[in-house]
């Protein structure tokens, strides 16, 4: 190499140094967001998640990146999506819903996981205990399933003479077994006949509601499965068509026309998820962050739907409502 070529090469290397340094400075952590449901069903959740991140100093698109994976209620897609996030070596995985949390937990024992689930995370094997999770996972529990018996009690207030109550559940959801168990126990204690209908796909939902239109139960419980959030508008339309009195697990149903919902405010939970992700990105270990549990639950009543269905909301139930949609 002659002197002129050497100087040219050296100049090129020197010019590349600032670019390399800039690339290192602009590298940002990546959060993988693994969702059992859909983007459309979680708009408010995303707003609160980003709010939690901002509270810890992270702004998506500026100093943190978020890669989303939406299963759209098709849980069999989650293992592959989780494996893809692991291959991409994301810094943290957010797992939305029990199926997503279990898929993420199976895919990695090293990448931190922050979950939001309705099941008991200890019984499901996600953590060792609520106060000391151990391992690489922590997060929030919505306590969705165990509230099934409370929803049944609300149904009895709405329809005091009810004898037969139907319940739509997803047999493939980790939420289903404990929820069914609690509702069955409450139904037996109150002399009610509980009729279970399985639905894990859109087609099965159609079949279930066609059966409901034929059987004509006195009231309906919609199980607290994430898949049903994806199908919320369709479920409400079929409930209206069948003329059923129904109680739901999530306020997202009453917001699109459902009669009554009782459960945790999921959107607020995702603010806490965002905060935990931010703390982990700053060096905290999931094993040292206790699993968060809700302390309040929301009773939401849609009076517009009640009037359209000709249903009189009992004054005692109305007085207990945390929010009334008119």
H-type alpha helices, 60-123:
78-87, 98-107
Instruction: Determine the angle formed by the axes of helices 43-55 and 266-281, rounding to 10 degrees.
Output: 40
Where is 263: in which H helix or E strand? strand 260-263
Domains and CATH numbers, the chain: 28-142+266-288 (3.40.50.2300), 145-263+298-325 (3.40.50.2300)
Q: How far is CA 146 from CA 149, 152, 177, 179, 301, in A?
A: 7, 11, 10, 6, 20
Model confidence pLDDT, tens digit, residues 79-103 = 999 999 999 999 999 999 999 999 9
Query: What is residue 145's predicted lDDT score, i.e. its pLDDT?
Result: 61
Q: Which residue has the higher pLDDT, 19 or 252?
A: 252
Query: What is residue 9's predicted lDDT score, i.e. its pLDDT?
Result: 44
- What is the arithmetic mean of pLDDT over 115-120? 92
Q: Which of 211, 256, 198, 262 is nearest to 232 (CA)?
A: 256
Q: Which of 198, 189, 181 is nearest to 147 (CA)?
A: 181
Q: How far is CA 244 from CA 93, 162, 201, 310, in A?
A: 39, 12, 21, 11
CA 26 – CA 62 distance, rounded (Å) = 9
- pLDDT of 3 above 50: no
Quickly tell me which residue has 């549990």 as its tokens.
Answer: 293
Dihedrals phi, psi of 138, to nearest 5 degrees:
-160, -175
- What is the arithmetic mean of pLDDT over 50-74? 97
Model confidence pLDDT, tens digit, residues 228-256 = 999 999 999 999 999 999 999 999 999 99
- What is the arithmetic mean of pLDDT over 262-277? 93
CA 200 – CA 162 distance, rounded (Å) = 26
Where is 269: in which H helix or E strand? helix 266-281
Contact (CB, 8 A) for 260 and 248: yes
- pLDDT of 4 above 60: no
Query: What is residue 14's predicted lDDT score, i.e. its pLDDT?
Result: 44
Q: Which two tokens stand for residue 290?
A: 């206790």
Where is 324: in which H helix or E strand? strand 323-325
Q: What is the pTM of this model?
A: 0.86
Contact (CB, 8 A) for 76 and 67: no
Q: How far is CA 66 from CA 33, 56, 274, in A?
A: 7, 15, 11
- pLDDT of 31 above 50: yes
Dihedrals phi, psi of 169, to nearest 5 degrees:
-135, 155
Burial per residue of 28-61, b for 16 or more beta-carbon CB atoms within 10 angstroms, e otherwise: ebbbbbbbbbbeebbebbbebbbebbbebebebe
How would you class 19 by CB atoms within 10 Å of its CB: exposed for 0-12, middle for 13-18, buried for 19 or more? exposed
Contact (CB, 8 A) for 325 and 318: no
Query: What is residue 26's predicted lDDT score, i.e. its pLDDT?
Result: 58
Which value, to the nearest 10 degrees, does the dihedral of the CA atoms of residues 174, 176, 182, 184 take? -150
Fill in the DSSP letter of residue 198: E
- pLDDT of 267 above 90: no
Query: What is residue 17's predicted lDDT score, i.e. its pLDDT?
Result: 46
166: three-class secondary structure by DSSP: strand
């Amino acid at each position: 190499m002659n002197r002129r070529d050497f100087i040219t090469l050296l100049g090129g290397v020197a010019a590349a140094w600032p670019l390399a340094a800039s690339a290192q400075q602009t590298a940002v952590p990546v959060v993988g967001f693994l969702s059992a449901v859909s983007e459309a069903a979680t708009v408010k959740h995303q707003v609160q998640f980003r709010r939690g991140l901002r509270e810890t100093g992270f702004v998506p698109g500026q100093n943190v990146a978020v890669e989303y994976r939406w299963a759209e209620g098709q849980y069999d897609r989650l293992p592959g999506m989780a494996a893809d996030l692991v291959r991409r070596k994301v810094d943290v995985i957010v797992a939305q819903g029990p199926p997503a949390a279990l898929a993420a937990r199976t895919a990695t024992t090293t990448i931190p996981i922050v979950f939001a689930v309705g099941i008991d995370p200890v019984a499901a094997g996600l953590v060792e205990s609520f106060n000391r999770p151990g391992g690489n996972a922590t997060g929030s529990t919505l306590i969705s399933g165990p509230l099934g018996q409370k929803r049944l009690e609300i149904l009895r207030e709405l329809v005091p003479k009810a004898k037969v109550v139907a319940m739509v559940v997803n047999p493939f959801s980790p939420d289903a077994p404990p929820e069914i168990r609690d509702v069955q126990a409450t139904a037996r204690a109150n002399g009610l006949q509980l009729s279970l209908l399985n639905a894990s796909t859109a087609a099965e939902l159609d079949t279930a509601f066609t059966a409901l239109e034929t059987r004509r139960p006195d009231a309906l419980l919609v199980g607290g499965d994430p898949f049903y959030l994806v199908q919320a508008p369709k479920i409400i339309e079929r409930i209206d068509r069948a003329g059923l009195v129904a109680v739901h697990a999530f306020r997202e149903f009453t917001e699109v026309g459902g009669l009554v919902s009782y459960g945790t405010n999921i959107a607020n939970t995702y603010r806490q998820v965002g905060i935990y992700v931010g703390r982990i990105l700053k060096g905290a270990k999931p094993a040292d962050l206790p699993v968060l549990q809700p302390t309040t639950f929301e009773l939401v009543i849609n009076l517009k739907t009640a009037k359209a269905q000709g249903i009189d909301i009992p004054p005692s139930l109305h007085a207990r409502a945390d929010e009334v949609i008119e």
